Amino acid sequence: MPERGRLFVISGPAGVGKSEIVKTVLKRHPDVSLSVSCTTRAPRPGEVDGVSYHFVSDARFDELVRQDAFYEWAHVHQNRYGTLKEVVRAELDAGRDLILEIDVQGCLQAMAQDDTVTGIFVCPPSRENLEARLRHRGTETEESIRVRLNNVARECATAYKYHYIIIHQDWSVEPNALEIAAEQVYAIITARRRALESNRTFLDELNRSLNA
Ligand code: 5GP
């Protein structure tokens, strides 16, 4: 039987680039998987059912909740999102390390049921940088910039609940910011694989054979 995989939760404020970071990790490291969540929100242009999300009706989501099919689920921005237990079980049993890209409520639920879950929080480098990026887009009003900065402030205040912090530098400051952040996430995954707890069975067998 393969060694069981490990669970990694990645969260961060909207627009900080966490999806791009996760996509880069998956492209470079096929030994890591991503869980596809269920959501009641409508697909955005270009999103594919079963790839971006499993897009489900409210009634179907209710049914999945009743069936206790979710590993975790939460209300986020007027919609519901959830990770299927079956996906987590299948990937971890197959020995694959699995990333959940979910919000802080989901992360806390995952950590509460499994103390080996690793939480990774992606932050913008600074308030000034975030503000400059929002202004640079030229599409935001002063009011919407203020609302977004408040939201980011609220979200970053929850980063203390996580084990690791990734700072996604602006590409104008660091042209390889995306690749650097992705490699930092993979370094955390590698470190967890090499942790004593992940290697106890191997060490026990090695020491038993050496002492035979
Ligand atoms: P979006 O609708 O922009 O794709 O995602 C909105 C938010 O929902 C993001 O913060 C994302 O991380 C979170 N999210 C996506 N899937 C899940 C999930 O399965 N569970 C939880 N708790 N949050 C999720």
Boundaries of every domain in the chain: 7-35+96-210
Can you give the pLDDT at residue 141? 86
Residue 119 · residue 111 · CB < 8 Å: yes
Q: Which residues contact 74 (CB under 8 A, 6 or more apart)?
A: 80, 81, 82, 102, 103, 105, 106, 109
Does 33 sit in the ligand 1 pocket, CB within 6 Å? no
Residue 41 is predicted with a pLDDT of 95
User: Does residue 101 line the site of ligand 1, with CB under 6 A?
Assistant: yes
- Using 70 as the pLDDT threshold, list the residues of the chain that sit under it: 1
Instruction: Give yes or no for residue 37 CB within 6 A of ligand 1.
Output: yes
Is the domain covering 7-35+96-210 a CATH 3.40.50.300 domain?
yes
90-to-33, 66, 87, 115 alpha-carbon distances in Å = 11, 21, 5, 19
Amino acid at residue number 110: A
> pTM (2 decimals)?
0.93
**Tokens representing residue 91 in the block:** 């990937």
- Length of the chain, please? 212
Report residue 139 as tokens: 């599409």
Closest to 107 measured CA to CA, from 116, 117, 98: 117
Nearest CA to ligand 1 atom 19: 82
Cβ–ligand 1 distance for 106 under 6 Å, the answer yes
State pLDDT tens for residues 168-212.
999 888 999 999 999 999 999 999 999 999 999 999 999 999 999
What does the pLDDT read at residue 1?
A: 62
Q: Of ligand 1's atoms, which has the minimum distance to the CA of residue 101? A: 12
Quote the pLDDT of residue 123. Answer: 96
Measured from the Cα of 109, ligand 1's closest atom is 22
Nearest C-alpha neighbor of 189 from the set 123, 119, 124, 125:
119
Indicate which residue's Cα is closest to atom 15 of ligand 1: 102
Nearest CA to ligand 1 atom 16: 102
Q: Measured between alpha carbons, how far is 101 from 35 in angstroms, rounded to an integer? A: 8
Phi, psi dihedrals of residue 47, rounded to the nearest 5° = -80, 140
